Amino acid sequence: MTKSIVIVGGGPAGYVSAIRASQLGAKVTLVERGPTLG
């Protein structure tokens, strides 16, 4: 069973969390209001 995760915020914690969740097999959606991460 694949888990779906939505992460709101593309700061350092958000994008590292998104990468790790993806590595563990989750389907990840990362939402950031600005044009760049970080």
Summarize pLDDT for 1-38 with one digit per residue, the tens.
889 999 999 999 999 999 999 999 999 999 999 999 88
In this structure, the chain runs to a length of 38
Q: What is the pLDDT of residue 4?
A: 98
CA 4 to chain centre: 10
Would you state the structure tokens that stand for residue 27, as one six-digit string? 């389907």
DSSP tally for the chain: helices H, then strands E:
1, 2
Domain ranges of the chain: 1-27
As a whole number of angstroms, the distance between CA 23 and CA 35 comes to: 24
Helix or strand (DSSP H, E) at 15: helix 12-23
Q: What is the pLDDT of residue 1?
A: 82
pTM higher than 0.95: no
Nearest to 21 by CA among 33, 38, 3: 3
Q: What is the pLDDT of residue 33?
A: 96
